[in-house]
Amino acid sequence: MSLSCTAKREWRKLPVPLSELHINTVLRCGQSFRWRKNGNEWSCALSARILTLQQTPTHLLYHAIPFSPPGHPTTEDLLRDYFQLNISLSDLYKKWAAADPHFQRISSSFGGIRMLRQDPWENLVSFICSSNNNISRISGMVQGLCTEWGAPLGSVDIPSPVDPEDGMPLEEKTVAYYDFPPPEKLCGDEVEGRLRKLGFGYRAGYIVETARMVNDKGLDWLVGLRERPYQEVKEELVKLKGVGPKVADCVALMSLDKKGAVPVDTHVLQIAQRDYGFGKTKNKTLTTKTYDAIGEHFRNLWGEEAGWAHSVLFTADLKSFSEQLVKTKTETTSVSVKKERVVVKNETGTGTGVEKETPGEVKEQTRTTKRVRVKVEVKKEVNEEVNDEVKEQMWDDDVNGVPSSLAERVKRRRR
């Protein structure tokens, strides 16, 4: 470990409103599994550097070690590319909201959710890990993989937090960062067994086999899929081991520039059934026809960037984003909302596994109180008036009863 950063850090900043990017949501909504939060700072090994971010209502603050690794883009260029800041998210939100009243309701509480433009190889392996799994464990698996095979980039000293009760400093920590290992590092005969020891389960074999396939074709082939049309990209990805339609859509959407790819997982299926009139399926696993029908429905509804729009609703549906709000004390009230009429297109005429839901009448549907609290809480966060100082981070959700700060974690550990 050559680099250890204790030097004073110089922050640079980009003007970015929260409506365009909300890192507290985007970095933990299951797109990337490697970002870590310390206090108000988010850090991740990215493009051969340790990148750290903070956000104010008006700016994205960043620094990196090293700041400009040889053979890699500058950190500012990296950020513009990674967050795709050339794309106006507020324009897209307006378009989606105009086309879809349900999107409008949900999105008013979940602003600034955009797709990251990730490294395709890391994205691919991460989502092979995602099958039949949860975000928490996926994060641990990916971190274990990077620690075992990734190139060490250095370590960062986490500023010593202070015990809120007695004002005494708590334990200090140094966190090491590793790059994501390239395919050739995961081709060896010993890799599968070591992955299993790291808790990858049956996914260990998928990863090794896919690493060998990608290594044979070359990383250029994988990255080159960015230039190919969506259908072709999906056909190619599905040939890889452990990659089915859902994982292929994730990779197409999150790292291969296919904005219309809509990954249909259990959450999206539930959303389609609960909010968009898709009938209950008989089987637990989706048929290809139902899978495709849901994607087509959303592409017809939201347009060519349907995958981006889907991410907003997916995030709003994540347990971690509603659970954290259950704890807050908020009036428990229930509201009723109009359910939209949805006519599911049935192109074959012989049934897609999707049943139509009495399209004649507009039904009333009672929402859970949970969801109401989501709305209340997030609005409070966004509407908070603050000045532009980094230390005045009233808008950060740590102050809203979410024990995610390092100080809180350390404190709980001591109990």
Q: Which residues bind DNA (CB under 7 A)?
A: 29-31, 130-137, 196, 199-203, 206, 238, 240-248, 250, 263, 265-267, 282-285, 287-289, 314, 318-319, 353
- Least distance from DNA to the Cβ atom of residue 228, Å: 19
Question: Catalytic residue among 37, 234, 246, 339, which?
Answer: 246
- Least distance from DNA to the Cβ atom of residue 44, Å: 15
* Token representation of residue 89: 């998210």
* Residue 17, Cβ density class (10 Å: 0-12 exposed, 13-18 middle, ≥19 buried): middle
- Radius of gyration (C-alpha) of the chain in whole angstroms: 22
Dihedral over Cα of 143, 243, 224, 195: its sign: positive
Nearer to DNA, 129 or 153 (CB): 129
Dihedral over Cα of 208, 209, 215, 219: its sign: negative
Backbone angles phi, psi at 358, to 5 degrees: 10, 80
Distance in angstroms (rounded) separating the CA atoms of residues 41 and 108: 25
- Least distance from DNA to the Cβ atom of residue 152, Å: 24
* Token representation of residue 307: 């995958």
Closest CA to 299 of 248, 341, 255, 264: 264
Catalytic residue at 94? no
* Token representation of residue 175: 């966190």
Helix (H) or strand (E) holding 409: helix 406-414
Backbone angles phi, psi at 121, to 5 degrees: -70, -50
Which are the catalytic amino acids? Answer: 246
